[in-house]
Structure 1
């Protein structure tokens, strides 16, 4: 992970050679736009192809991933940049990473243009779930890695995630269930709060980029983490620990054919800040089943 000595103008007085960002949106400079807000579980710079859909994969079959990188540094050279992609089971904290692939891409300075890697081809082992998280990191080869390379796809601009899951709700049904791994990506114990909420209209609009369906906002849907804890749950995790967590939900109405709605599942570190620092998130896409 390339950590600039100081942010480039207008964020500081010095001019590092690289200021790499895997952008979540047009004009994303990494700083001061982090931590991200909004749809921080879906980075459109990570593009998947050769699969049933952009968020459903076929374990045991090869697929391609490309990653876009921009360099807002003020140097005069092109940065040779290593881009690594990992996969993981659905998680809100990347405590366990599985290697997918790596590419090197030349990224010009001053944000001249967004550079895209060549397709990174890999195969997720047979037996893995069809829905998985992808995590990417961009590192300038000319810069040494700092000792702390904890995955941080929300706060650190060299990291990004593609963390979308789909769930089918049977015709005439409104109830659904989902489970994921809450994880501690750090080396020491920490306190976390898990929070779930219905996706708002803005988030649903963004998600139509990957799901060709009409969004249906359901702000009053009932959401409960574990048994009877409501839409929030406090947990403690040792360094590197993972815990499976369960969500139950009930839509306010059935989903019509050609529509979808979504739930945002997020994990916040509340060890030193009761408001919480975001660690990771999942976008749960709810689709109607066929009769």
Structure 2
């Protein structure tokens, strides 16, 4: 007597959990699961490509070949977390980042670490339903300045900014954060951590819960922390040695920069409560 068949929805959930538990990075597992049946291949693909990381020309070429092999609009509907990174550090990036953005229409978390966005890339990013963004402050300023305002400006909650300079120009001021009224989590990667950064972010973000400061090139965290009176400020040096893995972690509900920052705030709160109790 054959074993009873599981309902399709339950089958789908089982295969999706198998992929998610591997953080969607196990290509061998994906291939093995895909060989089970055509419908399983479809289910697995939709989960596997929720997170896409492009790191350089070879990675970009491979992804665009996949775009041509999949049904039209597949990646536009599936990709939720997208990271574009140019290991060569060239500005602008040599790989076709703008086309990659244009085929991923439902991105909720975007990391653009490839230098300055081209006009086409800016336009594509402006159409995403973003909730999280990580990029240079110049790119954010250029998105805000688009003729057609991006809808996500009033919805984004998590923002990581690299404070640097493109082409010798002066970086935009943090006052532009007032265009993102729902921000609760802000991280700044800067050559120098300036107390004025704290004031500018706090004044521009009425719902701020945590501000992560990651100064590059400094070595004494305690001395820097003492400069910031705001209890929401967390100074880290560096916060993670694996930024790509850290960025992807949030999608899978794993510990990341923000959860570690909240752990710091919780520890402070606990220590303060203990001190008050002793008094």
Shorter-chain TM-score: which interval?
under 0.3
- What TM-score do the two structures reach when normalised by structure 2? 0.23
Structure possessing the higher radius of gyration over alpha carbons:
2
Specify which structure has the higher proportion of strand.
Answer: 1
Specify which structure has the higher proportion of helix.
Answer: 2
- What TM-score do the two structures reach when normalised by structure 1? 0.23
Higher relative contact order (CA 8 A, sep 6+): 1
